[in-house]
Amino acid sequence: MTEVDVPQTRPPEPLSIHIIKASNLKGTKGDNVQITVKVEFGEKQLGESPKVDCVPDTPAEIDYTANLNCTFEDPLVLDEISYKPVVLTVTEVLPKEKKQKEEKTAQLGQCTVDLLPLVKGATRHHYNLVINPLPGSPLETISPESPKPEMEVVISVQESLLEGTQINNGNLMTLTIETLYAPPETWAMTGAQYAYAAALPIPVSADKESPIVFANGALKPSIDKEAPNRQKKWAVPGSAQGNSVYIPESFLPPDNIDDEDGEFKNKEERDHRHVAETEKLRVTWNTERRSYMDAMATKSFQDKIAKCRYWPVEVMRLPQPAAAKGKKDDEGSISYHGVAFVNLAPLLYPGVKRIRGAYKVHAYTDHAMHEKTKRKTGFGEEAGKIAFNILNRNSASPFPKKAGKEGAEKKEKEVKKGASQTIKSDTGSEMEGQAPVNVEGQQYVDAKSYVMLEISLTRPLIPKRPPEELARRVAEYIPPRPLFPKRTDGAQRAVEDFHNQVGSVANLILDEFRDQFGDILKTDDEPQTVEAMESRRQKLIYELNSSGKYFAFKEQLKYAVVKIVREKYLKTSAFEDRQELQTFLSELYVYLIDQMHVALGKYLALEDQAPIPKPLTDSAQLKHFAREAEVNGNYELATKYYQERIARNRNDPSHWFDYGTFCLYINDITKAEECFKECIAIDQKHLQGLLLYGVVCTLSERNEAAETFFEAATCVDPKSILAWTMLGLFYDAVNNEIGAEMAYLEANKLNQAAAVAEAKALREEEIVKDRLARGEHESEDKEVDHDQGGLAPPSVPDIKQPSPPSSDKPPTSARSGKGSISDRRMSASKRSDTYLHPDQSPQLQGSKMKTDSSTSRPGSQYRMGSQRGTPQPAEETEEPPVREPTPVPRSSIYMQVIEWLIEVKAIPFTERALAHELLSPMGGPTSAYHINYARLKLQKKEYKEAENSLDEALQFDYQNPDAWALMGHVKYMTNDVEASRDCYERTISFTIDAAEMHSIYLRLASIYLQEEKFSNAKNTFLMACKRSPSCVSWLGVGIACYRLGELAEAEDALSEANILNNTDPEVWGYLSLVCLKTGRQLEAEQAYKYALKLNLVDYDLLTEIQHVQQEVGFGNPEF
């Protein structure tokens, strides 16, 4: 037989629990107490410490160690260690009395040791645990001000329980079932009592799942309020009792509803949640269960979420454990079987480790389970048996047990009836074609029941790339451009450096000369002699030598000379022959003198050159001219303007970005990519450049690079709605549904936060205005009172009335000053008036509150409030004030992105965003949607679809200037001149301007020119010039003035146009006409030659010029 290779199993690892000392204990008969500590893990007792005497003010040194062997043969051993605590029970050993044979003991308290740090990879952990008193223990009599009983414990292992691969690839899941709210109406606190359980499957290996059961649910009334800092319970507390069933330092988080991941988040559902959590019964677990998943189980968990995002959490009611042993007829019988489908897709978001929220409970049926989770059946029956076993083993069950044969038989019948009804309804009659029905489970749906739960992981299933890595990847794709160009040390550069240094030294020498002899040369009018010049030269040399400046100038030139020797003459080593050295020095001297003269000539010649004039147009004007040419379809001229902006400043990323968007519009993807590359190379954090480079990569099907740039944009500005929405649109393009959902969710959160911030700012602004207005009004009242002198009536603050007990509350309380319903519906600014004014006295405010209260609720000042029947003020019974409506964003995230995408001409992404806007709850086929859809169709030159969309938009808002402007553009592009003129005139007549008025003015004025309405054309062109002057607008003014015979104004307008663009042949042509009409032959011929040189193609204008030339007899140099 061949030996089969058996994989080596790690030997057992002893896990030691070392109890160091205990302090502040109190015994039955005083502070001196003798104790022992029993150590238990689950149902296993690990040992008991020897007796130790404990005295006040001195910790008792216990120094006892118990060991727990951790065997690695069972793959679930780590899972068991993660969720089971070690229970330490402190027992008092009472002194023996006379004639007493055995010692008596009394349990004082317990504490639980959490082994979780060892499962996370630690080898040692130190605890200072509070000893919780057991019922009847003398520790209960310790006052809150006194030090609490404590125990110092250290847990440790020799080697980490997890190896390196297990730490990196495994995961620890923490499940917390909190509360089931709004249970079925038939559940009651009286009558037969039941146990309540929740269960869900967890993968324990690659192909196996095991149900995790929470069996300690308790039905509680609404008056039993939950503490704000609720502590989590152990899922399997073992022998722990009292407060020891709570996990130390583990509390339920008080999350905001907006931050939850579940359901029940809109306004109506929030109202239902408020009622359910304050006025109805609930089932409370507040239990945490940990589960260790190895690498295979983690991968299986991730794959199952990716295939089906919904995970079942089953809820059920169980019969209470029977008092008599041996009766197992009810074992595993479940009723009111419901299921909540938890969306675990957020756990596949990059970097997400935790989800928490409220999830609706549905009636359980196999059909619904299969439809939602792709599972054939649930774990209900198996979970019921597990829960029943847990309840039977729990000796400290919180449920009261009914004695008596009748009660037991009655309860048994009820349970069996409910169980049979549930089973029958679960299976349903699918064979007969009818939908399965769960009668009891349907009560969850009718009551709108929901369960609060939390699932967290130690490591995210999908790790999120950190911003540093994304920045590095972006730099790998597009290396950043250095702020200054790299310095190249060539021969030519060495000579240029020498020229610069010579010019610098010459400038310094001239400054020194002017300081010494400048005043003398200005006042001395006699002719300069050779002797005087020589004297000044000697004095200058002496001053340079004596002051050390000569040496400084020589040192300044030394480095440049050394570079010439190395780069020009390639001499880097010492000369061995002295004659060769002298020859080289002579040659070098001659060369340096010649180059010195060249440098001095260049330096002195600079003074005589005329300064380069500054350009008449700035970058913003050039961009405006480029957009104007783009709208007019003159792409060649637009390209010229964009390139001129880049030539003026190549280090401005916005210049490259604008040129790239233009190339994207004309479908030159290659050039657009180069432009966006340059933009990012200059500024690695240029948000819009990163986004559009990602768009270009997507169009080129380079999805990995595109994802890097989109993610980098979200890291550059994590609060950018644009960046997150663009990332979602990209994930849509590559069919990554979960990624798109994550990005859109983040964008919507930011959009809502922006709306809240905006509403808050407006509210604060209104409050400030109201305070200022009140301050002015009160100052006027004070002046009036002062003028009235002694006849003034007593002021209101002098009126004092007794206040009800509730008026001692601060006036800013949620219930103060809000008696009537009409007051609750006031606006934010008016509602602020009900608070205390800065100059009002508390007595006045109290009386005012009392008056409002008595007016709104007559005859109901007091009520019987508490269980003892103590009368309390009526204000305590008033319902809380109506919550202010949550601010709604002005537009959806898609609409905000659509407007930007249309601006940058990213057509494929615009179409995808418009599709989302159409299906968005905040969007739909609105006026804004149709307008932007028409803008997209205009860019694609699909004029019929654009016109249809604009017709729809005008049905929503007939006075929308943007819709009429776009309709005018559609008619203009389809040569429907009359209709386009009517649309443009209507747009101008509105009190609100359209988003882009310049093109409207230009096209309307050009229509007026075609219709020979020159006066209207002139006025319209002038309106365009007033808003944003350009060559085209001034040319239009010039043409209109020329046709009106206003030659002087025409020449002025054409001159303005020529200044803004001196390469427009049409401008030169009309200037030639003006000069011909005014009899200026030379200027007419010059303008005509420029028009022909710049390739004037307007045949009608050329014919008119030639006709006028024949009339006046000059203007054409050819004849």
pLDDT at 42: 86
Is residue 618 helix, strand or coil?
coil
Pull the structure tokens for residue 753: 């936060």
Q: Measured between alpha carbons, how far is 314 from 584 in angstroms, rounded to an integer? A: 97
Q: Measured between alpha carbons, how far is 734 from 747 in angstroms, rounded to an integer? A: 19
Answer whether residue 405 shows pLDDT above 60: no
pLDDT class for 537, splitting at 50, 70, 90?
Answer: confident
Q: Mean pLDDT lowest for which of 277-291, 638-652, 851-865, 1066-1080?
A: 851-865
pLDDT class for 821, splitting at 50, 70, 90?
Answer: very low
Q: Mean pLDDT lowest for which of 72-81, 170-179, 206-215, 657-666?
A: 72-81
Task: Note the maximum CA span of the chain.
Answer: 150
Answer whether residue 974 shows pLDDT above 80: yes
Q: Measured between alpha carbons, how far is 342 from 243 in angstroms, rounded to an integer? A: 31
pLDDT at 921: 82
pLDDT at 661: 94
- How far CA 497 is from CA of 500, 504, 550, 562, in Å, comes to 5, 10, 20, 11
Q: Measured between alpha carbons, how far is 683 from 690 in angstroms, rounded to an integer? A: 10
Q: Which is more confident, 1086 or 1118?
A: 1086
pLDDT at 1048: 92
Answer whether residue 260 shows pLDDT above 70: yes
Query: What proportion of the chain, given as a percentage, has pLDDT over 90?
Result: 38
Greatest mean pLDDT among 270-279, 318-327, 876-885 lies in: 270-279
Q: Measured between alpha carbons, how far is 572 from 398 in angstroms, rounded to an integer? A: 95
Span 809-828, average pLDDT? 35
Answer whether residue 419 shows pLDDT above 50: no
pLDDT at 713: 94
> Percent helix, strand, coil in the chain (nearest 5)?
50, 15, 30
Would you say 560 and 493 are in contact if contact means Cβ atoms under 8 Å apart?
no
pLDDT class for 98, splitting at 50, 70, 90?
Answer: low
- Only one residue has tokens 């604009």, namely 950
User: What type of residue sits at position 753?
Assistant: A
Torsion of CA 992, 997, 1001, 1007, to 10 degrees: -90
Q: Mean pLDDT lowest for which of 30-44, 432-446, 1101-1115?
A: 432-446
pLDDT at 429: 39
Q: pLDDT per residue over 705-762, tens digit each?
A: 999 999 999 999 999 999 999 999 999 999 999 999 999 999 999 998 899 899 888 8
pLDDT at 227: 77
Q: Which H or E run includes 936?
A: helix 927-939
Q: Which is more confident, 394 or 736?
A: 736
Q: pLDDT per residue over 556-612, tens digit each?
A: 888 788 878 877 777 777 878 888 888 888 888 888 888 888 888 776 654 445 666
Answer whether residue 1054 shows pLDDT above 90: yes
Would you say 262 and 358 are in contact if contact means Cβ atoms under 8 Å apart?
yes
Pull the structure tokens for residue 312: 């079942």
Answer whether residue 819 shows pLDDT above 60: no
Q: pLDDT per residue over 626-643, tens digit each?
A: 999 999 889 999 999 999
Q: pLDDT per residue over 844-890, tens digit each?
A: 343 333 334 333 333 333 333 333 333 344 444 445 555 566 788 88
Span 666-688, average pLDDT? 93
Q: Measured between alpha carbons, how far is 1108 from 1115 in angstroms, rounded to an integer? A: 9
pLDDT at 971: 93
Q: Which is more confident, 667 or 510?
A: 667
Answer whether residue 303 shows pLDDT above 60: yes
pLDDT at 778: 59
pLDDT at 401: 40
pLDDT class for 803, splitting at 50, 70, 90?
Answer: very low
Span 346-367, average pLDDT? 92
pLDDT at 113: 95
Span 398-410, average pLDDT? 39
Q: Measured between alpha carbons, how far is 706 from 698 in angstroms, rounded to an integer? A: 6
Q: Measured between alpha carbons, how far is 3 from 1029 in angstroms, rounded to an integer? A: 93
pLDDT at 344: 92
Q: Which is more confident, 537 or 629?
A: 629
* Backbone CA torsion sign across 253, 259, 264, 265: positive
Would you say 1029 and 1002 are in contact if contact means Cβ atoms under 8 Å apart?
no
Q: Which H or E run includes 196?
A: strand 194-203
Greatest mean pLDDT among 5-14, 183-192, 820-829 lies in: 183-192
Closest CA to 809 of 829, 836, 831: 836
Span 293-321, average pLDDT? 89
Answer whether residue 894 shows pLDDT above 50: yes
Closest CA to 62 of 51, 78, 46, 47: 51
Q: Which is more confident, 181 or 192?
A: 181
Q: Mean pLDDT lowest for which of 32-36, 354-358, 784-788, 1037-1041?
A: 784-788
- Only one residue has tokens 């675990």, namely 344
Answer whether residue 841 shows pLDDT above 50: no
pLDDT class for 189, splitting at 50, 70, 90?
Answer: confident
For 432-499, give the secondary structure using H, E and C. HCCCCCCCCCHHHHHHCCEEEEEEEECCCCCCCCCHHHHHHHHHHHCCCCCCCCCCCCCHHHHHHHHH
Query: What proportion of the chain, given as a percentage, has pLDDT over 70?
Result: 81
Q: pLDDT per residue over 60-94, tens digit each?
A: 899 999 999 888 766 678 888 999 999 999 998 88
Span 611-617, average pLDDT? 73
pLDDT class for 320, splitting at 50, 70, 90?
Answer: confident
Averaged pLDDT score across all residues of the chain: 80
Span 992-996, average pLDDT? 87
Span 120-134, average pLDDT? 91
pLDDT at 487: 57
